[in-house]
Structure formats: C-alpha cells, structure tokens
Chains A and B, each alone.
Chain A
Amino acid sequence: MSATPPAGSASLKLARSNRQSDSRKRADRVGDLSLRLICTAAAVLAAIVLILIAKEVIEGAQPAFAKYGLSFITHEEWAPPLEVFGGKGLILGTLITSAMALAIGAPVAISIAIFLALLAPDGVRNVVSPLVEMLAAVPSVILGFWGLLILGPFLAGTVEPFLHEWLGFIPLFGTPQTTGASIFNAGLILTIMVIPIIASVSRDLFMAVPSDLQDGAAALGSTRWEVIRGVVLPTTLSGMLAACLLGLGRALGEAIAVSQVVGGGTESHISLFRNGGTMASLIALQFPSAISALHYASLYYLAALLLVIGVAANLAASYVGHRFGGAPAR
C-alpha cells in the first residue's frame, strides 16, 4: 500500500468500485438467470399446452373409441337421439371439400403468384399483393355468412343447374338443391380461404429464384413462359408443395364458414350439390348442444381424427419446407 495520498485515494476508490460491482454482479447473475428461466418456461409452457391438447382430446374420445373402435371410420350413420355414431360421412365430406379447395385453389393461387412475382410491374405488385393477402384477413364467419346469403342462392339458381345440365352425366354434378347450401358451396368457400395462403408463400418463393438463372434461360432464346416453366417452377416445386400442405391444413380445419354453408348433413353423397358435413363443421354445430356422453365422446373422436390429420399436414409442410425449401443450392 503506497503512502502517497493520490495513490491511496485511488486504490480506495478502486476498492469501493469493486464492492459496487460485486453486488451489481450478483444482481446481474440473478437477472440473467431469471430471464433465461422465464423464457425457457414460456417455451416449455407452449409445449405443455400442445401435449395437453392432444391428451385431452384423445382421452375425451376414449368412450367412443372403446365402443366403436376403427369401425367409426367406416360407418356412416350419425343419429344422436339413437346413440348411433359413425364418422364416415363427415370424413368423406372433409376430404371432398378439402380436395376441391386444393384442386381449384392451388393452380389459381400459383397463377396469381406467377403474376405477382414474375409478370407484374412493381407498382401493380405493391397494390395487388396486399389485396390478395387481405382476402385471408376476412373472418371466416363473415365469409360463411356471405356464402350462405349470396353465394348460395347464386349457386342454386345459376351455377349448379348449369353444371347439372351440361355435366350431369357425371354423378358429381347431381340435382341441385334449392337452398344452395351444399358441399359444393363449402368447397368454394374453402377455395377462397386457401388461395391467399398458397399464393403469398409461392410468390415469395418465386421472387427468391436467382435472376441469373432466369437470365441464363432467357439468353437461350426462350419465351417468358418457357423461362417460368423450365427454371422457376422446377426450382420451387418443393416449396410449392409445402405451401399447398399449409393450405390443406387450413381447409381441413375450417369449422365455422363450412358449417354455415354446408347444410348440416352427416352423410356423404356422390353429388357435390347435396348437403353434407365435415368433421370440423359438425363439431362446431353439435358440440354446444350435445345430448349425451356418447355424443360428446363421438365428437371428441372426430376432433382427435382432425387433430391427427391437421397436425400431420402441418408437420409435412414444415418438413418439406425445411428440407428442400429456400433458394436453390448454387
């Protein structure tokens, strides 16, 4: 220890500041630990919630599963008063409406994405892109309401008779109903919901294709479409698949809009123009007023099935998007 006053006071200051930083350091360590703890807890909480969802839904389905086993999937009769429940009609309805939504929606959405990413000038893209995304922001209950009051009568009065007249030899296009509530209507509503999802993901994919790849194709004397078909589309195939899987997940799980326009039936018919039901829509319609424990359990059974295929579609989309997505390997 030096006898010189300046050095002495300096080392005193140092000692004091060291003490300060000691308690500060302790506070910092506690703070760091706490923050890490809370953040990790939040992530764990999310995981717990997901696991709980699966657990509760599957447990709720137990009584129905115990009674019917897998024959639930193959039997069509759904009669709550008689305590008879078979999910085949709902499963088929789900598959048909979702298939229709993808069959129409995917090509349309990809065309929109081609337009936005590869054909439209910047000004047009900046206006039309948000408009397409706005379509996704319309709440499903409003879309379903519109589908019921406006699309339905239009379909029943104009489109369905037209299709029945010209394509009626195909059993898909049977006799139209008067109400306009039908599987066909539900499929169209789902198409409207699915298109913005697939379109915006695909648009981002197309814009990420390196321009030198497209330049190379153009320099070989190819038309615009040939460049798109030969370079852009093949490069983004897996990404488009992931986008379609995301759209599929949306279509499978949509309960409200479908319930408003599908007619509330529980059987499956060949004709698209008859009413029917999907798993999600039936749960929404019958859950609030289920009349027996078995009724509830059967609805949970449907929910469990929906959970499985919905999560599967989402995981598939993530897997495909993660493994093969992004810009092509250069």
Chain B
Amino acid sequence: MRLGRRDPSQEFDPTQPLVATGNLRRRHFVSRAFQCLAVAAAVGAVAVLVIVVTAVVSHGASAINWDFITKGAPEGVGPDLVGTAIIVGIATLIAMPVGVLIALFLTEYAGRRSTRPVQLLLDVMNGMPSIIIAVFAYILIVEATKKESGLAGAFALSIIMVPLIARGTQEVLNLVPRPQREAADALGVARWRSVLTIILPAARAGIVTSTLLSVARAAGETAPLLLLSSLFKDETFQFNPLEPLPNVPVRIFQLSEEANPEGFTKAWGLSLILIVIILALGLGSRALLNRSKRKMS
C-alpha cells in the first residue's frame, strides 16, 4: 500500500486548465522515451547501411577502371563478370518458366487441398539454407559427373530463384480479378487461350519484376558456387558452362580469405560492381512496377 499515492479519480476537476494532471507527465515521458528508442533503432539501421555501402564505395572505387572490367587476371575481373552472367542466365532460363508455371498452378488449377501444401513447399524452399542446396546439387551432379561445372551452379541457383519468382508471379496473377477470368470462360474461350493471351500478358510486369529481383538475389549467392563452380582452370575468360566458370561471389570470397592487400582492393572493386548491379536491378524493377501501375490506372 503506497502512502502518498492518492486515487487520481478523487482529485479530478474538469474545470482545471487542460494540462497534464495526475500521472500524465510521467506517462508522457515514458511514451517519448520509447518513441526515441524507435527512432534511434531506425537511424541505426540506416546508419549501418550507409557505413557498409560507404566502405565498399570508398575502398572499391579506386580499383574500378576500364581494364578492371574488361580484362582477365591479373589486371581485371572480366572473366568473373562473364561467368556470373552465364551462370545466372542459365539459372534464369530454368527458374522463370518453372516459377511461373507453379504460380499458374496455384491460381488456376490448385484445389483447396493442394493449395496450402504447395504454398508450404514454396515457403520451405525459400527458407532452405543455400549451403544445403549447394550440398544437394553437389551430390546430384558433381559426384555423378566427377567434376564441378557452371551448369551445376546454375541448377542450384535456379532452386533458390524458383520460390521468389513463383511468389511474385502469384501475387500479380491474383490481381487479375475473378470476374475477368470468369468472363473469358463464359465467352467460350478455352482456359489455355485466356491464360496465354489475357492473364499472363496482364501479369507481365509483375513477372519481370520478380524475375529481376530473384536475379539480384542469385547474383550474390556464394555458397552454391563455392561448392559447384570454384575450381576453375585459371582466371582467363571462359564460356563453357560444362566446366567450372569463374564468378563474382566466389572470387570475392577467395580474395577475402587470402591475406593479400592487393587482392583486398580487387575484392572491394568487385563488391562495388556487384552492389551497383543489384541496386540497378532493384531500381529497374521498381521503375517497371510503377510504370505498369500507371498504365493500368
């Protein structure tokens, strides 16, 4: 029993000026304190982003020049860029159709009993650690063929990309209103025709956007390529996906593990290029989305 704490309701006089009475001053203090914490947290997160990006830019900018991008070792990292482009390109060729088809399955053909399990499937696939996907692809392909290859890496990356494309496509497909779909059916248009000629084109922007975002994700994935495409012959330009191809994330990783300052600079430069590519993909997909939204409205 606290003495000196009077029951606030007893001293309540509504005709008093409208300033804080009773314990309100303390409650305001507490409220402002928590709000400050929330602001501080947000500021902190942005600060970390700024710090990391600044470090990459400041350390990596000095390494960037035309030779760096176009030549092979020892001056440049051109082979890595080419290798990543090939591997991610193949992965996209595999993942995009599969992802879109799965999304179509969920929106057009899944019954009540199959919708939830397939969505769960996608969630699990999305949350699977990439190192495990890497190990799996290793067992499946590398152990069988006795060698690493860019193709194996592309296969692993496609597993990572499929749930992202499927989810993004599904969201856009769901935006096509039910009545429109049913109208096509009522007109006697076959389901497959309306899907190919009406629904998919309407969802085009969303499909491209989610593909771009999954490419951005795949471009930075190191674990699969570390296991599946890291024993390259040398640092010259290579184009054969049946061999291990030099690629950007593995190169950064290898350079970071060596205790060589020159290598570090190269790694910063490569990181800068990678971040710029990812940023460009992100901004590009956002611009695409905004443009398609404007078209529709």
State yes or no: do A and B touch (Cβ within 8 Å). yes
Residue ranges of A at the interface with B (Cβ–Cβ < 8 Å)? 27-29, 31-32, 34-36, 38-43, 45-47, 49-50, 52-53, 56-57, 60, 108-109, 111-112, 114-116, 119-120, 128, 131-132, 134-135, 137-146, 148-150, 192, 195-196, 199, 223-226, 228, 246, 249-250, 252-256, 260, 280, 283-284, 287-288, 299-300, 303, 306-307, 310-311, 313-315, 317-318, 322
Q: Are B162 and A46 in contact, with the CB atoms below 8 A?
A: yes
- Chain B residue nearest to A31 (CB atoms) is B192
A–B pairs, 16, beta carbons within 8 Å:
A31-B190, A31-B193, A32-B191, A36-B108, A43-B101, A52-B140, A128-B42, A137-B282, A139-B249, A139-B278, A142-B275, A223-B24, A224-B31, A255-B131, A256-B223, A315-B120
Q: Are A28 and B190 in contact, with the CB atoms below 8 A?
A: yes
Q: Are A150 and B45 in contact, with the CB atoms below 8 A?
A: no
Distance in Å: Cβ of A236 to nearest Cβ of chain B: 15
Return chain B residues, CB-CB under 8 Å to A138: 49, 52, 220, 275, 278
Q: Are A115 and B42 in contact, with the CB atoms below 8 A?
A: yes
Pair count A-B, CB < 8 A: 253
- Chain A residue nearest to B110 (CB atoms) is A43
Q: Are B38 and A112 in contact, with the CB atoms below 8 A?
A: yes
- Mark out the residues of chain B between 6 and 42 whose CB falls within 8 Å of any chain A CB in the assembled complex: 24, 27-28, 30-31, 34-35, 37-42
Given A108-B45, A140-B220, verify A119-B131 contact (CB < 8 Å). no
Of the stretches B69-77, B250-258, B288-296, the one at the interface is B250-258
Q: Are A314 and B27 in contact, with the CB atoms below 8 A?
A: no
Partner of A28, one of B132, B193, B271: B193
Partner of B49, one of A57, A119, A134, A250: A134
In the assembly, what is the distance between CA of A116 and CA of B135, in Å?
Answer: 39
Q: Are B131 and A224 in contact, with the CB atoms below 8 A?
A: no
In the assembly, what is the distance between CA of A275 and CA of B1, in Å?
Answer: 52
Given A45-B98, A57-B135, verify A192-B48 contact (CB < 8 Å). yes
- Chain B residue nearest to A250 (CB atoms) is B127
Q: Are B275 and A52 in contact, with the CB atoms below 8 A?
A: no
Which of B109, B129, B230 has the most chain A CB atoms closer than 10 A to its own CB? B129
User: Residue B159 at the A interface, CB < 8 A?
Assistant: yes
User: Residue B216 at the A interface, CB < 8 A?
Assistant: yes
Partner of A310, one of B129, B191, B267, B271: B129
Given A56-B139, A134-B49, verify A146-B55 contact (CB < 8 Å). yes
Return chain A residues, CB-CB under 8 Å to B139: 56-57, 60
Q: Are B127 and A39 in contact, with the CB atoms below 8 A?
A: no
Q: Are B98 and A42 in contact, with the CB atoms below 8 A?
A: yes
A-contact 0/1 string along B241-261, CB 8 Å cutoff: 000000001001100110000
- Chain B residue nearest to A107 (CB atoms) is B41
Q: Are A57 and B136 in contact, with the CB atoms below 8 A?
A: yes
Q: Are A145 and B252 in contact, with the CB atoms below 8 A?
A: yes
Return chain B residues, CB-CB under 8 Å to A303: 131-132, 135
Distance in Å: Cβ of B147 to nearest Cβ of chain A: 13
User: Residue B102 at the A interface, CB < 8 A?
Assistant: yes
User: Residue B124 at the A interface, CB < 8 A?
Assistant: yes
Q: Are A132 and B35 in contact, with the CB atoms below 8 A?
A: no
In the assembly, what is the distance between CA of A141 and CA of B49, in Å?
Answer: 15
Return chain A residues, CB-CB under 8 Å to B125: 46, 49-50
Interface class of chain A by DSSP: helix
Q: Are A253 and B129 in contact, with the CB atoms below 8 A?
A: yes
Q: Are B130 and A199 in contact, with the CB atoms below 8 A?
A: no
In the assembly, what is the distance between CA of A146 and CA of B124, in Å?
Answer: 29
Which of B101, B127, B279 has the most chain A CB atoms closer than 10 A to its own CB? B127
Q: Are B135 and A300 in contact, with the CB atoms below 8 A?
A: yes
In the assembly, what is the distance between CA of A14 and CA of B41, in Å?
Answer: 73
Q: Are B102 and A142 in contact, with the CB atoms below 8 A?
A: no
User: Residue B56 at the A interface, CB < 8 A?
Assistant: yes
Distance in Å: Cβ of A269 to nearest Cβ of chain B: 23
Partner of B226, one of A225, A256, A300: A256
User: Residue B235 at the A interface, CB < 8 A?
Assistant: no
Q: Are B274 and A142 in contact, with the CB atoms below 8 A?
A: yes
Q: Are A142 and B192 in contact, with the CB atoms below 8 A?
A: no
In the assembly, what is the distance between CA of A108 and CA of B41, in Å?
Answer: 6
Given A35-B191, A47-B121, A146-B55, verify A139-B98 contact (CB < 8 Å). no
Given A139-B222, A260-B256, verify A226-B49 contact (CB < 8 Å). no
Return chain B residues, CB-CB under 8 Å to A300: 135
- Chain A residue nearest to B52 (CB atoms) is A146
Return chain B residues, CB-CB under 8 Å to A49: 125, 159
Q: Are B128 and A310 in contact, with the CB atoms below 8 A?
A: yes
Given A43-B118, A284-B226, verify A53-B128 contact (CB < 8 Å). yes
User: Residue B68 at the A interface, CB < 8 A?
Assistant: no
In the assembly, what is the distance between CA of A255 and CA of B52, in Å?
Answer: 19
In the assembly, what is the distance between CA of A119 and CA of B37, in Å?
Answer: 12
The 9 closest A-B CB pairs, nearest first, are A253-B129, A139-B220, A28-B190, A42-B101, A225-B31, A314-B127, A111-B41, A223-B31, A31-B192
Q: Are B37 and A252 in contact, with the CB atoms below 8 A?
A: no
Return chain B residues, CB-CB under 8 Å to A254: 129
- Chain B residue nearest to A115 (CB atoms) is B38
Return chain A residues, CB-CB under 8 Å to B49: 131-132, 134-135, 138
In the assembly, what is the distance between CA of A34 and CA of B124, in Å?
Answer: 28
In the assembly, what is the distance between CA of A150 and CA of B60, in Å?
Answer: 14
Q: Are B129 and A255 in contact, with the CB atoms below 8 A?
A: yes
Partner of B132, one of A42, A57, A137, A199: A57
Distance in Å: Cβ of A309 to nearest Cβ of chain B: 10
Which of A142, A255, A256, A299 has the most chain B CB atoms closer than 10 A to its own CB? A142
Distance in Å: Cβ of A245 to nearest Cβ of chain B: 9
